[in-house]
Amino acid sequence: MYSGANDDPATQKVTVTITAPQMSNFVVSEYVTRSRNVASTQTDWVSGVDASPTTPVTAFGKTYYAPATNIVNGTAGQITLTGGAPYAATGSLDSLILDTQTSNGAGLNALQWQGTLPTLGSVTYELNNYAYNPQTGLIGFNCELIPPGDCAGASGQWAVTVDDTTGIYSGWAWSDTVGWISFNCAGDSGCNPATEDYKVSEPVGSGVKNVTGWAWSDNIGWVAMACDSVGISQCGVNWDNGAGGDGTPSNDSVWVDAGGSYRGWAWSDTVGWISFDCMGLASPYDCLSNSNYRVVRSAAGGSTRVRIWIASSNNVAGPWDFLGAGTCLSGGTAYEPQPGVPVQVGCFTQHWNKRYFRYRVELCSSPDCSSAGTLTPTVQDVTVNWSR
């Protein structure tokens, strides 16, 4: 049976039914799939700006599309930020227009980058993007997304954060329907630590992590991150909605994969399942048509950051809307995988069956991408995998 949550846009089933009087229906089915995968990689940028940036190429080569901002490209096989303790707060460049030579358009599958993300001691990561529940709607984890870039007003620069030295979460998420959701009693003026010292936390270290504990909303009450939290009656088969797991022991809760993306579901007795990943196996909700939602955070070692967006078009003149992992709108949350860890390219409605594509890569010397830091990330290559 078809499941929208597990839809593979690279494989589609075509069914033809022939009907006629005095006979049973004649049904023929066939699968159509994209099976010719291509990896387009840029490993050097030493040639600088291309003289004819509107001309598409079939391989990225050693040039880029437009003058880069605060990028050093003089060393073969890498780009870094300008300066040196302090470095520029941020720098970026756009790739050339890559022609897939696929007349009916290609399918973008995944992207990754290779290089280094230096770190300076303790790091506080900001969560980004959205979770989803039919009653709460999208739940935002960073004011920069609601609307994009709007952190003004009395609430200020709000976000949910996690300290990598303690694994303890802090801050607030927001739903237009149910309002604020607090992730730590310490930041909630209405919480009494002596009687209700709630918080969300995770193990310290790298790799896959289970998220545990409780968040609180004045409107929907307690939100449990794991079924083994004290008092939860939904453990066992009910926790994964009776649909089974994906083979990962931590599937029956909220968990973080090695690339910094959140998976699984939280539970509220008031609104039910809260999905942290629209493409998660056995997800009770389909992806929203205009929002490939998934809660994400900057990769491990994130006192410096590398962010990537993808743009696609059937016209070499664009428009070139660089989309990230979140809202599928220009300027949305970027992809931030760890070096060498591929991530799925989302926003299928916008990206699939487009002949041309480009990437935008941004380097940051500090976690907020606005302060000048003393270290720079190094990008050695950027790869986009796509199918004919």
What is the bridge-based pairing of β-strands 63-64 and 48-49? parallel
> 256 with 159, same domain?
yes
Angstrom distance (rounded) from CA 208 to CA 7: 25
> 24 with 68, same domain?
no
Residue 127: CB atoms within 10 Å: 24
> 215 with 234, same domain?
yes
> 256 with 357, same domain?
no
> 70 with 178, same domain?
no
| The token pair that represents 46 in the structure block | 């030493």
Q: Which domain holds residue 108?
A: 37-120+301-387
> 84 with 225, same domain?
no
Angstrom distance (rounded) from CA 254 to CA 297: 14
Predicted confidence at residue 148, as pLDDT, reads 60
Compute CA 43 distance to the chain's CA centroid, rounded to the nearest angstrom. 23
> 101 with 52, same domain?
yes
> 305 with 198, same domain?
no
Radius of gyration, CA atoms only, the chain: 23
Q: What is the pTM of this model?
A: 0.60
User: Do residues 260 and 336 make contact, with C-beta atoms less than 8 angstroms apart?
Assistant: yes
Predicted confidence at residue 228, as pLDDT, reads 63
Output phi, psi for 341, to 5 deg.
Answer: -110, 110
Predicted confidence at residue 238, as pLDDT, reads 46
> 206 with 251, same domain?
yes
User: Do residues 351 and 344 make contact, with C-beta atoms less than 8 angstroms apart?
Assistant: no
Angstrom distance (rounded) from CA 181 to CA 136: 11
Q: Residue 50 belongs to a domain with what CATH number?
A: 2.60.120
Angstrom distance (rounded) from CA 341 to CA 260: 10
Query: If DSSP codes are grouped into helix, strand and coil, which group holds residue 185?
Result: helix
- Summarised one tens digit per residue, pLDDT across range 315-331 is 999 899 999 876 677 77
> 134 with 280, same domain?
yes
Output phi, psi for 64, to 5 deg.
Answer: -135, 175
Predicted confidence at residue 252, as pLDDT, reads 59
Domain boundary among 279, 296, 313: 296
Domain count for the chain, please give it.
3
| The token pair that represents 115 in the structure block | 């290089």
| Total residue count of the chain as it appears in this document | 388
What is the bridge-based pairing of β-strands 221-224 and 209-210? unpaired
Predicted confidence at residue 87, as pLDDT, reads 93
> 238 with 376, same domain?
no
Predicted confidence at residue 248, as pLDDT, reads 42
58-to-111, 287, 312, 360 alpha-carbon distances in Å: 17, 32, 15, 17
Instruction: DSSP letter for 184, please.
Output: B
The 3-class SS string of 221-275 reads EEEECECCCCCCCCCHHHCCCCCCCCCCHHHHECEECCCCEEECEEEECCCEEEE
Angstrom distance (rounded) from CA 345 to CA 353: 13
What is the bridge-based pairing of β-strands 80-81 and 305-313? unpaired
Output phi, psi for 194, to 5 deg.
Answer: -70, -25
Angstrom distance (rounded) from CA 9 to CA 283: 17
Residue 21: CB atoms within 10 Å: 4
> 179 with 150, same domain?
yes
Query: Which residue has tokens 């699939």?
Result: 352
Predicted confidence at residue 244, as pLDDT, reads 35
Residue 150: CB atoms within 10 Å: 10
Angstrom distance (rounded) from CA 361 to CA 358: 10
Q: What burial letters (b/e) apply to 28-61, b meaning 16+ CB within 10 Å?
A: eeeeeebeeeeebebebbeeeebeeeeebeeebe
Tell me which residues of the chain have a pLDDT lower than 70: 1-12, 31-35, 120-122, 147-150, 228-252, 280-286, 288-291, 298-302, 326-327
Compute CA 90 distance to the chain's CA centroid, rounded to the nearest angstrom. 20
